[in-house]
Amino acid sequence: MADKPTTGSLLGVPYNFERPGLRRMLAAHVQPGKGMIVQKPFGIGYTVNLASWRTWVLLAVAGLLWYHERASQRSADADDADDADTEVLID
């Protein structure tokens, strides 16, 4: 029986199933001079390059959107709590 390849690409998507070391894991996410998207050190597909300033902008925008969503949920919950305590009297 032939050994299956542990690295390569399938339909243009790279894969790598070799056992990664700590150095390879860290080096894969910090690659100065490369683009924003780089190959994953283990598994299928791509990951972000933390050496790219565009990645940090993307992470900051995602963080701000998450914070804004959480704040709007908290204010909606507070408004619901205020409405629950309101009593309307009709003469």
pLDDT band at 1 (very low <50, low <70, confident <90, very high): low
- 14 or 1: which leads in pLDDT: 14
Radius of gyration of the chain (CA): 24
Number of domains in the chain: 2
Is residue 84 scored above 60 in pLDDT?
A: no
Residues 6+ apart with CB under 8 A from 54: 36
pLDDT tens by residue, 35-83: 999 999 899 999 999 999 999 999 999 999 999 999 998 887 776 665 5
Query: In terms of domains, do 44 and 69 share one?
Result: no
At residue 5, the pLDDT reads: 82
Determine the pLDDT at residue 80. Answer: 65
Domain encompassing residue 43:
1-51
Same domain, 27 and 8: yes
Same domain, 77 and 47: no
